[in-house]
Amino acid sequence: MIVGALLLGGLYLFPIWNITLEAPQYPEPIGMDIFINKFQGMNPNDIKNINIMNHYVGMKDIPEQIPEFEIFPLVTAGMIILGVLTGFIGKKNLYLVWFGLMVTFGTIAMYDFYLWEYDYGHDLKETAAIKFTDSDGEPMAYQPPLIGNKTILNFRALSWPRTGAYLMFLGMALSVLAYFQNKKEASNSSQQAQKAKEDDEEQYSHNVA
Amino acid sequence: MQIRNQIICCICAVTMLFIVGSCSQQGQTGALNSSLADRSYVAPGEHDEFYAFISGGYSGQLSIYGLPSGRLFRVVPVFSVDAEKGYGFNEETKPLLNTSFGSIPWDDSHHPDLSQTNGKVDGRWCFINGNNTPRIARISLSSFETEEIIEIPNSAGNHSSAFVTENTEYVVAGTRFAVPVPQRDMPIEEYKGNFKGALSFIKVDQETGRMNLEFQVMMPGFNFDLAHPGRKKSHGWMFFSTYNTEEASTLLEVNASQNDKDFIAAINWKKAEELIANGQFETIKTEYAHNVYEESTHMATSTMKKEVKVLDPAKYPGLVYFLPTPKSPHGCDVDPSGEYIIGSGKLAASMTAHSFTKMLDAIENKKFDGDAYGIPVINYEDVVSGVVQQAGLGPLHTEFDNDGNAYTTFFISSEVVKWKVGTWEVLDRAPTYYSVGHLMIPGGNSQEPFGKYLVAMNKITKDRYLPTGPELAHSAQLYDISGDKMELILDFPTIGEPHYAAGCPADLIKPNQTKIYELEKNNHPYAAKSDKEARIERNGNEVHVYMTMIRSHFTPDNLEGIKVGDKVYFHVTNLEQDYDVPHGISIIGANTSELLIMPGQTETFIWEPKKEGVWPFYCTDFCSALHQEMQGYIRVSGRNSNTPLKWSLDGD
């Protein structure tokens, strides 16, 4: 459980999310890593170059600072402290509570990310040089996908979690595992013996393979 | 478990199929390889294996090709102005073309050579000589820009240049024409015994590449034709071929062809270094320009130097020896082992190979046949090691492969001949189209040739391509030399008149490419590094416009308050920081070229408006979807008007 909580510390070191843009004239794709407290280009000038391209369709510049960059590090710190405390207390139900909180915060964060993306892709300057409409005649939006790949004009936008998020997922999984582990320790030893036997068989079949 | 085993078996089987499949594919490629077209074919989007740096001759430039495709990638402006790139037209590069004779817009570039470390091509710099007004240039192989040009004083016809020693200690530059030193008014017929032939040693700073004319060996008034540094065992020596040891000043085609043997001059430059270090030299007054382009300021400066250290070889025994070599030798080439010095007597059918070991022995045992102007002449028999007999007519230049073979061009019989170093037997010959001059094998003048291809650069084209009136592109031919027989696989036209060329694997150069100039490191005194810094300043009738450019606008793009009679400096900074997004600019009536500005760079052009009116300017490089909108206006008012200085972008 404690390890699980500490894995959240990875959020301070590694990017959580990444949006990559691929296009024929960018044989080396450009993109942006989203950290807990900043946006950073995959290459030194990528954000500048994304802004240059996006200004033609009236999109705003990617901001250097947003309120989330203040809030998220605090929330994460809180969750790490909470998780470690929970681990020391050792009550299995508290593990589930912690997991539940993580899911809640994660969902809020994803929703917040979605809102920002929506605004970024829809709130276009009136004076945009290039105005495309979609098949319904509505002004085209340039919102990147929440998760997954999407074609936007000449670009293919790829939006996927990165190391920070994966470490977080692992941490959350560990908290659930800790919950079950704790539960199992309470159950009887014959079940454990049975499990051990299964494991041996598994090991044997591995060797055969 | 059984199911899993089956899956694993399947995976194994599929993998085997792939391996078998790819084997048979390789087999097919091998079969296709026999097609000549396939051997020079580089598929769309693929890269060539080698860079080739081919001199432009009377174009004054250096052209960059890929091998084996023969595709032209870039012409680097060196000694000649190039309006396409603003070279020699913008204020930043004008100083590069300065000389002691003033600014010169042209030269005749002959012999590129690549920097080396331990006798191996290292991909740092390319050096090339200007023949007409003697100069040596250094080109960065990161930016592919000319970074430095140094004029060579006391020299004329800078032909036996620009050859690089094993560790790029020196670039050497020998004079083709003997001249009075110092230059003075004297009768031409008093040439003999009075004119001099300066051999210049230019030291190269290993960090920056900066050149310094370290010393000159002041030789008798022969004509120094080509040169080659010693390799491995002969490192520390430099060999120069000579003609006109007759010292004729008129009708040289006859009068300089009378001696049965001229010389290869062997210069012990390590000895020269000692003499210089011991203060055993003369300092003579002269004048030469040293021009340096600074990447951080994006600007060149020209400095006039006033003196040079000179060594008189007659005074210092052991500094220079002459190796008699038949029939006005042109090419002077040293094999990769450093043992053999090949003199190509251009009026002969045979080539002479001198032995470095024999040379040292002859020096030690004083096997001399007199002297010339106090310089010992070694006995021909005591230095010659072998002769490649009757290989062809008019041998000019020799390069080497990595298997102990040599390849020599024959101008008169129009062919390349392959022969064995050491046994001197001819192995193969291939015709060229027509009258080949130099040849180049990647790394073929170094300790470690890369082999594989040979480029022959021809002087006569005639019917090789679709005709284009009386003036034809010079033709180069590419031979595959990986087998026993040379095979012609490609013809390609070249820029100007290539003389020598250099080549190396692309991998030595590709990883070090400059893609953009970092805006933060731009130290140009007139840079505007953001739109906010864009402005106009007036100082009397001198007006400085600090302008920026980024997709797809100029800042400012409406300028007022300029007057007839003003001298307007446009200092334009490209704010882009993306690879391959240059912008250009020019204005109607500008008496100069466009500017073509790379990302992060600042360049300047001068405009002197002659007429009142409102004059447009625009981006000359198709930069973006809204390139056509990248334009602006300048209002020019009368000489005595009171129009205030005003500038804006979108009304701001």
Contact A205 B1 (CB under 8 A): yes
The two three-digit tokens of residue B497, written as one number: 């008149």
Percent of chain B at pLDDT above 90? Answer: 91
| Mutation to test the B interface, candidates A25, A26, A43, A45, most B Cβ within 10 Å | A45
| C-alpha torsion angle, residues B522, B523, B526, B531 (rounded to 10) | 40
* Nearest by CB: A209 against B8, B551, B576: B8
- Domain spans, chain B: 77-400+430-437, 519-648
Please answer whether residues B126 and B155 qualify as being in contact, where contact means their C-beta atoms are separated by less than 8 angstroms: no
Average pLDDT, chain B: 94
Cα B474 to the chain's mean position, in Å? 18
Please answer whether residues B41 and B55 qualify as being in contact, where contact means their C-beta atoms are separated by less than 8 angstroms: no
- Amino acid B164 reads V
CATH 3.10.580.10 for the B519-648 domain, yes or no: no
Least confident segment among B18-22, B130-134, B560-564: B18-22
- Domain spans, chain A: 2-208
Distance, CA of B9 to CA of B520 (rounded, Å): 58
Please compute the mean of the pLDDT values over residues B373-380 and round it to a whole number.
Answer: 97
Contact A129 B626 (CB under 8 A): yes
Please compute the mean of the pLDDT values over residues A56-80 and round it to a whole number.
Answer: 92
B553 min Cα distance to partner chain A (Å):
11
Please compute the mean of the pLDDT values over residues B545-572 and round it to a whole number.
Answer: 97
Partner A contacted by B590 (CB < 8 A):
no
Residue-wise pLDDT tens digits, A106-163: 999 999 999 999 999 999 998 998 888 888 888 888 999 999 999 988 899 999 999 9
Q: Report which secondary-structure segment, H or E, holds B99.
A: strand B98-99
Contact residues on chain B for A129, CB-CB shorter than 8 A: 626, 629
Least confident segment among A131-135, A146-150, A187-191, B314-318: A187-191
Contact B550 A44 (CB under 8 A): no
Query: DSSP labels for B191-253?
Result: -TTT-EEEEEEEEE-TTT--EEEEEEEEEES-EEEEEEE--GGGTTEEEEEEE-TT---S-HH
Contacts of B349 (CB under 8 A, 6+ apart): B389, B390, B391, B392, B393, B395
Contact A52 B576 (CB under 8 A): yes
Please answer whether residues A143 and A121 qualify as being in contact, where contact means their C-beta atoms are separated by less than 8 angstroms: yes
Contact B5 A56 (CB under 8 A): no
Question: What pLDDT does residue A7 have?
Answer: 92
What are the φ/ψ torsions at residue B311 (nearest 5 degrees)?
-115, 130
Distance, CA of A138 to CA of A121 (rounded, Å): 14
Q: Give the A-side interface with B, CB within 8 Å.
A: 28, 44-45, 48-49, 52, 56, 129-130, 205, 208-209
Question: What pLDDT does residue A136 have?
Answer: 87
Contact A49 B8 (CB under 8 A): no
**Which of B603, B615, B628 shows the shortest CA–CA distance to B552?**
B628
Burial class (CB in 10 A: 0-12, 13-18, 19+), A208: exposed
For residue A26, give the chain B residue with the closest CA.
B579
Distance, CA of B37 to CA of B32 (rounded, Å): 9
A158 min Cα distance to partner chain B (Å):
21
Please compute the mean of the pLDDT values over residues B130-147 and round it to a whole number.
Answer: 98
The two three-digit tokens of residue B396, written as one number: 């000019």
Distance, first Cα to last Cα, chain B:
75
What are the φ/ψ torsions at residue B253 (nearest 5 degrees)?
-60, -25
Question: What pLDDT does residue A90 have?
Answer: 83
Question: What pLDDT does residue B347 have?
Answer: 83
Contact residues on chain B for A52, CB-CB shorter than 8 A: 550-551, 576, 578
What are the φ/ψ torsions at residue A155 (nearest 5 degrees)?
-105, 150
Contact A49 B4 (CB under 8 A): no
CATH no. of B77-400+430-437: 2.130.10.10
Contact B626 A44 (CB under 8 A): no
- Does the structure show a pLDDT above 90 at B390? no
- Amino acid B26 reads Q
Residue B410: CB atoms within 10 A of its CB come to: 24
Q: How many residues does chain A have?
A: 209
Question: What pLDDT does residue B6 have?
Answer: 52
Distance, first Cα to last Cα, chain A:
34
Question: What pLDDT does residue B582 have?
Answer: 98
Please compute the mean of the pLDDT values over residues A63-85 and round it to a whole number.
Answer: 92
Contact residues on chain A for B551, CB-CB shorter than 8 A: 52
Residue-wise pLDDT tens digits, B60-84: 999 999 999 999 999 999 999 999 9
Q: Which residue has the higher pLDDT, A191 or B216?
A: B216
A145 min Cα distance to partner chain B (Å):
25
Contact residues on chain B for A48, CB-CB shorter than 8 A: 577-578
Contacts of A184 (CB under 8 A, 6+ apart): A191, A192
Partner A contacted by B8 (CB < 8 A):
yes
Look up the ipTM and state it: 0.81
Question: What pLDDT does residue B644 have?
Answer: 96
Query: DSSP labels for A58-96?
Result: TPPPPPS--THHHHHHHHHHHHHHHHHHHHHHT-HHHHH
pLDDT interval class at B639 (50, 70, 90): very high
pLDDT interval class at A188 (50, 70, 90): low
